[in-house]
Amino acid sequence: MSQDTADGSISVIRPDRHGQANPKANPKAKTGAAVKAALAANVGVAIAKFAAAAFTGSSSMFSESVHSVADCANELVLMVGDKASDHKTDGDHPFGLHRVKYLASFIVATLLFFVGGVFAVSQAAGKLTGLIEGTLPRQANSPELVAALVVVGVSACLEGYGLHTSVHEARGRMKRVKVESTSLVRFWRRTKSAELASVMMEDTLALIGLAFAGLGIGLSIATGDELYDAIGGLMVGLVLVCGSAALAFKSGSLLIGEDIDPRTREMLVEAIESTPGVDRLINMQAIHMDEDAVLLCMKVETSKLDRDYDVQTVDKIESSIRGRMPWYEWEIYVEPDIWRSEK
């Protein structure tokens, strides 16, 4: 459909999600496998850690127990957010509820991870203060700590499996959307999937935290001094707090709205400028509504300033974009205009 704008030009609007469906679009890529695998692993890990913490009194193990509870809550919130984002809007949200997933990820980062990290730090710091001041015995119970160390080793294997699943899914997504990057760090920074970014961060933090916990428990066993276990618990809590800051920055950026990947922008420009009837791409803005939905607005100069010709040209632009990048769901708005050079 088309409408006259205030300056007399023709704005040609081709609805996708809320109007004409895009038959070439691939089904949405879900990150459910990574989230469900992480949840299944963390439930078992949390139970084992709490049992070990209660049996041994290990500060490192208690901090790790809090970490695992935060991880479980993380996956549950992400799953609820993913389900809510698929609900049909009642009209108050014209572009849908996609960003509920980004909101869920932000809640995870700012509340669950941060609060869990602060709680773990406070508990470890209290024990550390008591050990230094002499109000708590510093003699470590080595046999009990050995059991805690075994739990740490088993937990590391389970968390490693979870990270392997999320990395495999990340590589599959890079291949699916044709992002030319083999760097997982760069993928994490550029990905528009809140769930995948959260799970990758969560699994990485879990392994780092387990490394500190294992080191603290191991040193306490070797030296017989409970102080190292308390330091290990403190480090686990600090890792969780630092990770929450990084995840809050990432999810906050997604919630505000991120641009498309540079490689995708190159493909878009090529698809538009090679369309018959397009003389020039004047301006283009694109933003991700979620990892698979893109809102695209552009101004183009066509070969003729004719309404029927412009509508046909817009149809060709849409076909070109969807044909080259069918893995995205496109909401496209095109305005034929006249290019004016700036003096």
Distance, CA of 237 to CA of 235 (rounded, Å):
5
What tokens does 274 get?
Answer: 């090679």
Q: What is the per-residue pLDDT across 121-137, written as a single tens digit (0 to 9) for each?
A: 888 888 888 888 888 88
The Cβ of residue 342 has, within 10 Å, a number of other Cβ atoms equal to 3
CATH architecture of 2-24+261-336: 2-Layer Sandwich (3.30)
Distance (Å, whole) CA 247 – CA 297:
29
Radius of gyration of the chain (CA): 26
CATH class in words for 32-256:
mainly alpha
**pLDDT-derived band of residue 6, with 50, 70 and 90 as boundaries?**
very low
Give residue-wise pLDDT tens across range 135-148.
Answer: 888 787 778 888 88
Q: What is the pTM of this model?
A: 0.75
The H or E element that residue 140 is part of is none
> In angstroms, rounded to a whole number, what is the distance separating the alpha carbons of residues 163 and 188?
13
- Name the DSSP letter for residue 139: B
**Mean of the per-residue pLDDT values of the chain:** 79
Top pLDDT among 341 and 278 is at 278
pLDDT at residue 306 greater than cutoff 80: no
Q: What is the mean pLDDT of residues 316-341?
A: 88
What mean pLDDT comes out for the span 191-212?
Answer: 84
Domain boundaries in the chain? 2-24+261-336, 32-256
